[in-house]
Amino acid sequence: MLEVASLGSGSTGNATLVRSAKTTVLIDCGFTLKETLKRMASLGVAPSDLSAVLISHEHGDHVKGIGPLSRKFGVPIYLTHGTFRRLKDDRLLSYELFHAHAPFTLGDLEIDPFPTPHDAAESCQFVVRKDKVSFVVATDMGVCPPFVLSKLAGVNGMLIECNYDDDMLRNGPYPPSLQHRIRGNFGHLGNLQAGPVVRAVDHPALECILLGHLSEKNNTEQCALDAVLASVSTNPERVEVLKPHTASRWYAITGKAVAGDAEATV
């Protein structure tokens, strides 16, 4: 079994906890150290519980707290070579560089990183597995190409990006250049893109669908929820929207909903 919780997901900061009975990892740390510790404590997690922090890319809403967290508590930071080179704060007490095509293990967890199309130096995301149970983070990418879609196939839980609503972005406060960046192939997934991705990889053992990285200016929870629910044929209670400013509850991902050996067809 895996347990997953968000410390917050949105344009202002992102961080996701994934744990087994023996190992806890934090995927990204986009909040100040004070806020990170506060939200972790609300979920019953202390810095000493962390086996590692996995970093997807160098943008501030994903790395704001890693330097202080590393220096104060010595938590190992795992990141790609490209991400490390672009860090504004690279004074890390302990770090490991990995290749985005090479799986590795942390305790009893298998970490399977994969490259993602985003306007960062060497952006990636992660599938986390414990035995046959898996969870994937799929945010911060302008499109979802076949290679990424293959990583999402068969997972038991996912955090999928729903960054913007098309109409809200078009009519919102952002200048055309920023709108173009967000909509571009190296920007972010919008609601209308996320829905088909979920439909493509949905299967009987997909227990948990978390919608994250919503823009506070260009999206609403209801818009994101409606777009994804329109693509989900069964069990709409699986779908929840993550909040940007508060931690979520813990989500248990058991893998027990499997009907035979069903997997998604990509």
Q: Which of 210, 117, 206 is nearest to 155 (CA)?
A: 206
3-state secondary structure of 88: coil
Give domain status of residue 264, yes or no: no
Give domain status of residue 260, yes or no: no
Whichever domain contains 117, its CATH number is: 3.60.15.10
Give domain status of residue 104, yes or no: yes
Yes or no: say if 200 and 254 are a contact pair by the CB < 8 Å rule: no
What does the pLDDT average to over 189-215? 97
What is the model's pTM? 0.95
Give domain status of residue 261, yes or no: no
Give domain status of residue 56, yes or no: yes
Give domain status of residue 228, yes or no: yes
Domain that holds residue 51: 2-253
Cα separation, 1 vs 173, whole angstroms: 43
pLDDT given for residue 233 in this prediction:
80
Q: What is the pLDDT of residues 33-83, one digit of tens each?
A: 999 999 999 999 999 999 999 999 999 999 999 999 999 999 999 999 999
What is the domain count for the chain? 1
Give domain status of residue 36, yes or no: yes
Give domain status of residue 169, yes or no: yes
Contacts of residue 100, defined as CB under 8 A and 6 or more positions apart, other chains included, come to 80, 113, 114, 115, 122, 124
Residue 24 CB: number of other CB atoms within 10 A?
Answer: 21
